[in-house]
Chains A and B, each alone.
Chain A
Amino acid sequence: MGHTVTVTVNGTSYSREIEPTLLLVEFLRETLALTGTHVGCDTSQCGACTVLVDGRATKACTMLAVQADGATVVTVEGLAKNGDLHPIQRAFAKEHGLQCGFCTPGLMITAVDFLERNASPSDAEIRHAIEGNLCRCTGYHNIVNAIRTASAEMRQAASGEAKIAAEVQP
Chain B
Amino acid sequence: MTVAANPKYIGTRVARKEDPRLITGEGTFTDDVMLQGVAYMTLVRSPHAHARIRRIDTAAAKKEPGVVAVLTGTDLEATGMLPVFIAVPGMNGSKHMPIATDKARYAGDAVAAVVADSRDAAKRAADLIAVDYEPLPVVVDATKALEPGAPIVHEELGSNLVFTYPVKGGDIDKAFKDAEIKVTQRIVNQRLIPNAMEPRAVAAKFEAGELTLWTTTQIPHFVQLIVALNLGLGQNKVRVIAPEVGGGFGSKLQVYAEELLVGYLSKTLGRPVKWTEERREGYLATIHGRDLVENVEIAAKKDGTILGLRIRTVANVGAYLQAFAPGIPTILHAFIIPGPYKIPAFDVEVRGAYTNTTPVDAYRGAGRPEATFAMERIIDRLADEIGMDPAELRRKNFIPPDAFPFNTISGITYDSGDYEPALDRALAMADYKGFEKRRAEAKARGNYRGIGISTYVEICGLAPSKANSALGVGWGGYESARIRVHATGSVQVFTGTSPHGQGHETSWAQIAADALGVSPNDIEVRHGDTFESPGMGVGTFGSRSLAVGGIAVHKAAEKVREKVVQIGAHLLEASPADVVVENGKVFVKGVPEKAKNFGDISMAAYLANNLPDGMEPGLEATVYYDPPNFTFPFGTHIAEVEIDGETGNVRIERYSACDDCGRQINPMIVDGQLHGGIAQGIGQALYEGAVYDDNGQLLSGSMMEYHVPSAEDIPMFNLDHTVTLTNTNPLGVKGIGEAGTIGSTPAAVNAVIDALSPLGIKHIDMPLGSEKIWRAIRAAGEGRR
Contacts and interface: CB of A to CB of B under 8 A. Distances in A.
Residue with the greatest number of chain A CB neighbours at <10 A, chosen from B24, B280, B669, B678: B24
A140 to B, nearest CB: 4
A163 to B, nearest CB: 29
Interface in B228-252: 244-247, 249
A76 B19 CA distance: 13
Contacts of B19: 92-93, 98, 101
Interface residues of B, number: 56
Which secondary structure dominates chain A's binding surface? loop
Nearest to A33: B34
A36 B25 contact: yes
Interface in B1-52: 15-16, 18-20, 22-29, 31-32, 34
A137 B16 CA distance: 15
A96 B13 CA distance: 10
B20 A101 contact: no
A127 B711 CA distance: 5
Interface residues of A, number: 56
A105 B672 CA distance: 18
Contact of A103 (B197, B244, B503): B197
Given A93-B15, A100-B197, A143-B711, A136 B247 contact: yes
A80 B21 CA distance: 12
Contacts of A100: 196-198, 244-247, 500-501
Contact of B679 (A96, A108, A139): A139
B692 interface: no
A45 B280 CA distance: 12
A46 B704 CA distance: 10
Interface string A72-111: 0001110110000100010011101011111111001000
A142 to B, nearest CB: 6
B676 A139 contact: yes
B577 interface: no
Contacts, number: 177
Contact of A140 (B31, B669, B714, B740): B714
A35 B32 contact: yes
A105 B675 contact: no
Interface in A1-44: 21, 29-30, 33-43
A143 to B, nearest CB: 7
A101 B27 contact: yes
A152 interface: no
B100 to A, nearest CB: 24
B487 interface: no
22 contacts: A36-B24, A38-B29, A40-B199, A40-B246, A41-B279, A41-B703, A43-B280, A43-B704, A45-B708, A46-B197, A76-B25, A80-B24, A93-B19, A93-B20, A98-B22, A99-B247, A100-B244, A100-B247, A101-B19, A102-B29, A138-B676, A139-B740
Interface of B: 15-16, 18-20, 22-29, 31-32, 34, 120, 195-199, 244-247, 249, 276, 278-280, 500-503, 668-669, 671-672, 675-680, 702-704, 708, 710-712, 714, 716-717, 740
Given A39-B199, A85-B23, A94-B15, 15 more contacts: A38-B197, A38-B198, A41-B199, A43-B280, A98-B19, A98-B22, A99-B502, A101-B22, A101-B23, A104-B23, A108-B23, A130-B711, A134-B710, A136-B249, A139-B717
